[in-house]
Amino acid sequence: MNTGPARGMRDFLPEDVRRRRHVIGVIADVYQQYGFEPLETPSVENLETLQGKYGEEGDRLIFKILKRGEGAETGQADLALRYDLTVPLARVVAEYRARLPKFFKRYQVQPVWRADRPQKGRFREFYQCDVDAIGSRSMVVEAELLAAAADVFTRLGFSDFVIRLNHRKLLEALLAGRQISKSSWADFLSAADDLDKIDVKDAVARLMEKGHDADGAASWINWLSQFKWRRGDARPLATFNEGLDKFETLFNTADQGHPQLTAREAAQTAIVDLKKILALCEFTSARGRVVFDFSLARGLSYYTGAIFEIAVPDLAGSMGGGGRYDNLIGMFSGEDVPACGISLGLERILVVMAERNMFPPSLVASSADVMVVQWFAHRTDLYLALATELRAAGLRVELYPEPPAEDNQKGATVKQFQYAQSRGIPYAAVIGQAELEAGTVSIRTLATRQDEQRPRADVAAYLKAKI
RNA sequence: GUGAGUGUAGCUCAGGGGUAGAGCCCCGGAUUGUGGAUCCGGCCGUCGCGGGUUCGAAUCCCGUCACUCACCCCA
């Protein structure tokens, strides 16, 4: 019998759970400080809710659930495990629009499932930490989302993260201005993202493999590369503005017939948005964190405005990302509702924090403050009573579960002390013959092997003072 | 979906045609109210599974499954 978890799934042992909860706790705490409210949605959605929202590749990766009864034979599916947290949010907003506040701000930390092939840092079940603001087109939303994300990473102990910022409309204007047909946009956007991982030459080659002409490909990639933020660069805000101005000038003076009027207008809108976001970020904790990066594209097709990603120097992928998607909710309700959100990659944050040893020591610490040792063979009542007293005083108490075969059996206490120490429990409480007669409890500090006799009535207070 | 690598004790791994190995873990002892060291002893295996070659296969060949890594795509 194979005892491992199913492919791409993971068991979380106590230490893992403590670490995950620590990070999730910080995230939830920060989001709440920004006025976001918690939301939870079912693991299972109707298949039709999910289908067609993530593109062709995304549809293929949806975990489907067979229809009950005859579906088991026919292979017909009508339900599916949720693929992300954004589409369920869009569904919820479309369903409860009237009951939700005009500006609905929600955060959601739940697992999602993808029938992907597992790989390093990639699983079939993983947590997403999403925060989204619904109902406003103001760039204040973007600025606050970036500030919240900056707060999260700062509080977790990251000092070297960078928020890459770009705008879908800017990219689209560029593509339109270059007379690139809409059917090719996905390839060119994907090539832009590639620049983060591979060099200019390879990115051009890859575009050509997809059937695009060499000049167009090279010109696009080279152009983007000029404004590429590179991992490790920590450019101050001024550089961003400079880059943007440079782009603006270039775009407006590129009169070789490339930019068309509509593309130019779209680009202007995007530039106004980006400048606004930057100006607002100056007054938040995202100050100094934001860099402008033309090559940021993001895979999901539903983005319509600003897009962003959080990067650290020692991880190839992103620690999270998001953007504005003003049309997604309309796919459910028929009425477009503006929305903008960001998703933090919990698993990747954990991977980097583990590699860098960033978890506070208290997290790997013990399951209990004190362990009650059993010395007499038939007085478990005594030890349970002591444990109960200590617990009532607010201590975390473990009772060694097995009494020795006889009173003070040879090696029995040794074994119990060893067990307590191996569990990282700092103190052991012993009531043996001498203690019973004197009405005391012997408190042993496992690390120093020092014992101290305390009157039974003082033990709880004594231990509370020590931990 | 494509490609590569690895499957041997509970865990980490050695052995690459001739009796199945080491370390760690666990259990017991040296040490009867005091444990992290050391030493001694013990437990532990269809060598992933199926077939083939061979006198003989953990070892070579074919197939298959699982895991890992990379591509695609993504968090």
Q: Residues A330-383: pLDDT tens digits? A: 999 888 999 999 999 898 888 888 878 888 877 766 778 999 998 888 888 999
* CB proximity list for A465: less than 8 A, separation 6 or greater: none
Domain positions in chain A are 14-361, 366-466
What is the model's pLDDT at position A183?
A: 80
pLDDT at A101: 96
d(CA A345, CA A90): 20
Residue nearest to nucleotide B67 (CA to C1'): A7
Q: How confident is the model at residue A241, as a pLDDT? A: 67
pLDDT tens per residue, range A194-204: 887 778 888 88
DSSP A405: S
> Nearest nucleotide, C1' to the C-alpha of A408?
B33
Strand order in the sheet with A450-455: A397-399, A370-373, A427-430, A440-445, A450-455
For range A424-437, the mean pLDDT: 88
Exposure string of A315-337, with b = 16+ CB inside 10 Å and e = fewer, is: bebbbbbbbbbbebbbbbeeeeb
Nucleotide nearest to A453 (CA to C1'): B33
Residue nearest to nucleotide B48 (CA to C1'): A2
Mean pLDDT of A153-161: 92
Å: A346 CA to B37 C1': 42
The 10s digit of each residue's pLDDT in A77-135 is 899 999 999 999 999 999 999 999 999 999 999 999 999 999 888 899 999 999 999 99
- At A230 the pLDDT is 67
- pLDDT at position A409 is 67
Pick the CATH number of A366-466 from 3.40.50.1820, 3.30.1330.40, 3.10.310.30, 3.40.50.800: 3.40.50.800
DSSP 8-state symbol, A429? E
ipTM > 0.85? no
Confirm if A193 and A161 have CB atoms less than 8 A apart.
no
- Angle A156-A351-A323 from CA coordinates, rounded to 5°: 70
What is the token pair recorded at A56?
């062709």
CA–CA separation, A12 and A35 (whole Å): 30
Q: Note whether A403 and A412 are within 8 A (CB).
A: no
Task: Between A108 and A191, name the one with better pLDDT.
Answer: A108
Q: Which residue is nearest to nucleotide B36 (CA to C1')?
A: A418
Helix/strand/coil for A121: coil
Q: Indicate the burial class of A361 (C-beta count within 10 angstroms; 0-12, 13-18, 19 or more).
A: exposed
Nucleotide nearest to A411 (CA to C1'): B32
What's the distance, CA A458 to chain centroid? 45
| CA atoms of A83 and A43, how far apart (whole Å) | 9
In angstroms, the CA of A119 and the C1' of B18 are apart by 41
Q: Which of A350, A333, A388 is nearest to A18 (CA)?
A: A350
- DSSP per position, A373-399: EP-SSS-HHHHHHHHHHHHHTT--EEE
Q: State the nucleotide closest to A450 in CA–C1' terms.
A: B34
Nearest nucleic acid nucleotide to A432, CA to C1' distance: B33
Nearest nt to the A119 alpha carbon by C1': B69
Higher per-residue confidence, A13 vs A456: A456
pLDDT of A324 above 90: yes
pLDDT digits (tens, 9 = 90+) for A232-284: 565 545 566 676 777 777 666 655 555 555 677 778 888 889 989 989 999 99
Among A67-76, A176-185, A217-226, the range scoring the smallest mean pLDDT is A67-76
Q: Which CATH number fits domain A14-361: 3.60.21.10, 3.30.930.10, 3.40.50.12160, 2.30.29.30?
A: 3.30.930.10
Q: What's the CA A414/C1' B39 distance, rounded, in angstroms?
A: 19
The whole-number Å distance from A397's CA to B12's C1' is 34
Spatial CB neighbours of A427, under 8 Å, sequence gap ≥ 6: A369, A370, A371, A443, A444, A445, A446, A463, A466, A467
At residue A450, the 3 state secondary structure works out as strand
pLDDT in tens, A19-49: 899 999 999 999 999 999 999 999 999 999 9
Q: What is the pLDDT of residue A52?
A: 87
Task: Give the 3-state secondary structure of residue A342.
Answer: strand
- CA A3 to C1' B46, in angstroms, rounded, equals 18
Q: A30 CB contacts (<8 Å, ≥6 apart)? A: A148, A151, A152, A155
| B2 C1' to A115 CA distance, Å | 17
Q: What is the mean pLDDT of chain A?
A: 85
Instruction: Report the alpha-carbon distance of residue A138 to residue A395 in Å, rounded.
Output: 50
**Interatomic separation, CA of residue A123 and C1' of nucleotide B2, rounded (Å):** 19
Question: pLDDT band at residue A208, thresholds of 50, 70 and 90?
Answer: confident
Closest nucleotide to the alpha carbon of A127, via C1'? B75
A117 CA from B67 C1′ (Å): 12
- For helices A185-194 and A214-226, the axis angle rounded to 10 degrees is 50
Residue environment code for A398-433, b if the CB has 16+ CB neighbours within 10 A, otherwise e: bbbeebbeeeeeeebbeebbebbbeeebbbbbbbee
CA–C1' A373–B35 (A): 13
Which nucleotides of chain B are near protein (any atom < 7 Å from a CB)? Answer: 1-2, 26-36, 66-75
- End-to-end CA gap in chain A: 44
